[in-house]
Amino acid sequence: MQVTETKFPGLKIIQPRIFGDHRGFFFESYNRKSLTKESGIDAEFVQDNMARSSRGVLRGLHYQIGDAAQAKLVTVIEGEVLDVVVDLRKESPTYGQHYKIRLSGENKTQFFVPRGFAHGYAVLSENALFYYKCDNYYSPEHEGGVMYNDPAFNIDWEIDLSTALLSDKDKKHPAFANHKPVK
């Protein structure tokens, strides 16, 4: 696997080795020993989640606080999304900044999001099947979020936000200046 460090401490892009021939392809989507050895990621994942969404759906920006904080290993099985994170770690040199990457079933890129980031994505293809591993269990009482279109972030989601499909909850997240602290 090829691991690329970003300027955000702990945020990593992982490109697995793909073996393809006339029959299709094969790749190892997760191997804890390889991931730890090659990327330094030593998360013990305890929950897997999957979401199917259609073009124009925007999910986020979500995070878990306190003892329920989660690191995530995200990937797209089919379709394409614009995956976006915002660093909410006050001690981080990239605090309040966002990072975005295109993930797709075609590129098979994986994205490791450490604890302390808000996370979301916008669906760019007709449909997308989004899959992620978490190192902590979901806890509704520890849920937080920040407004996806907060001017403090200036995120280009690469979709028309006036027609974006959002949950009622995602429409009501507070501005960055008013979000719940992650720790």
Q: Quick one: which of 87, 66, 78 has its CA closest to 153?
A: 87
**Candidates 62, 98, 119, 179; catalytic one:** 62
Q: What are phi and psi of 165, to 5 degrees?
A: -95, 115
Q: How far is CA 145 from CA 74, 159, 169, in A?
A: 18, 20, 9
DSSP string of 97-136? -EEEEEEETTT--EEEE-TTEEEEEEE-SSEEEEEEEESS
**Candidates 63, 99, 132, 148; catalytic one:** 132
Q: Quick one: which of 94, 82, 92 has its CA closest to 120?
A: 82
Type of residue numbered 83:
D
Catalytic, 132? Answer yes
Give the residue numbers annotated as catalytic, written as ranges: 62, 132
